């Protein structure tokens, strides 16, 4: 959606930047991805269009904001994943709710699996990037928002323990920044879950040094004020890297590959076939809702 709310004259340099933003955003939109402003910024940096400086991030944000207001960029390209309206769902008719139920009908296919997988990510702003892979594979996902709170981690431990009691091995796929705190968060999750009595395989799949070396995301200075900086710098040097800088399609594929590595395909296919048979029944009820309603009304008259 594009609409001009203001009149704005842009310099040739700004128009070139806007055109580049259009190409990048359209590229990801064609693959089903939207971007946060920070992700777009890192695409500019990674492709060599602008230097990796806070001043350039602010300048890009200002130009993108004006371009959207002037109707030069689609509003759906850039999203804020941390602020959302919440409310209850509504339907136009009983038939519509049955159709919705059929569309959204899912059985707990992971219940028959030897492993139980969840995906945890450090940043709330990147939840939209992991949603596709998680929803395609019916995996629960969670934004840690930094170091996970004690209450949330205790609750997660109880959930993991219940999986273990049902004969499943819990697995957490974790993604975070490669900086002093981001790297340490994986250890923190593992150790606190163990403290609460949950035996969980915590797998950090990004951001790791082999990915930094392979994909060359733009570096940032490691925060020297971080209490974990000394140990981090000793092992990795003075640079750090943000998860946002990795291509969203790469993150999507990393998550899906890791999920598949823990999933028994035969058990999954069997559970899926059973679920689809039941979904078909719901769809048939929705398609014949008028007949079903008439039959129920006739029964009520008795």
| Model confidence at 300: pLDDT above 70 | no
Sorting pLDDT into bands at 50, 70 and 90, what band is 301? low
Q: Which CATH class is domain 94-265?
A: alpha beta
- Phi first, then psi, for residue 37 (nearest 5°) are -60, -40
Sorting pLDDT into bands at 50, 70 and 90, what band is 173? very high
Sorting pLDDT into bands at 50, 70 and 90, what band is 302? low
**Stretch 111-121: mean pLDDT, rounded?**
97
């Amino acid at each position: 959606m594009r609409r001009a709310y203001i009149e704005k004259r842009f310099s040739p340099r700004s128009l070139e930047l806007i055109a580049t933003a259009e190409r990048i955003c359209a590229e990801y939109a064609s693959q089903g991805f939207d971007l946060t402003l920070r992700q777009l910024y890192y695409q500019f940096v990674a492709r060599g269009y602008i230097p990796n400086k806070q001043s350039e991030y602010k300048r890009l944000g200002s130009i993108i904001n004006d371009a959207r207001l002037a109707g030069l960029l689609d509003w759906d390209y850039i999203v804020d994943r941390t602020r959302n309206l919440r409310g209850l769902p509504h339907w136009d008719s009983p038939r519509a709710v049955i159709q919705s139920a059929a569309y959204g009908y899912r059985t707990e296919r992971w219940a028959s699996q030897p492993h139980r997988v969840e995906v945890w990510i450090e940043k709330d702003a990147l939840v939209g990037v992991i949603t596709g892979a998680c929803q395609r594979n019916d995996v629960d996902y969670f934004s840690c928002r930094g170091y996970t709170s004690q209450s949330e981690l205790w609750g997660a431990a109880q959930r993991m323990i219940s999986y273990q009691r049902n004969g499943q091995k819990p697995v957490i796929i974790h993604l975070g920044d490669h900086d002093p705190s981001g790297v340490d968060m994986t250890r923190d999750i593992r150790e606190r879950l163990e403290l609460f009595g949950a035996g969980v395989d915590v797998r950090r799949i990004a951001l790791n040094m082999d990915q930094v070396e392979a994909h060359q995301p733009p570096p940032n200075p490691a925060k020297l004020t971080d209490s974990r900086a000394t140990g981090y710098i000793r092992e990795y040097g003075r640079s750090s890297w943000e998860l946002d800088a990795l291509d969203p399609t790469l993150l999507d594929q990393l998550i899906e590959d890791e999920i598949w590595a823990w999933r028994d395909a035969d058990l999954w296919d069997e559970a899926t076939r059973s679920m689809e048979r039941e979904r078909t029944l719901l769809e048939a009820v929705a398609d014949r809702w008028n007949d079903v309603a008439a039959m129920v009304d006739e029964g009520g008259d008795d």
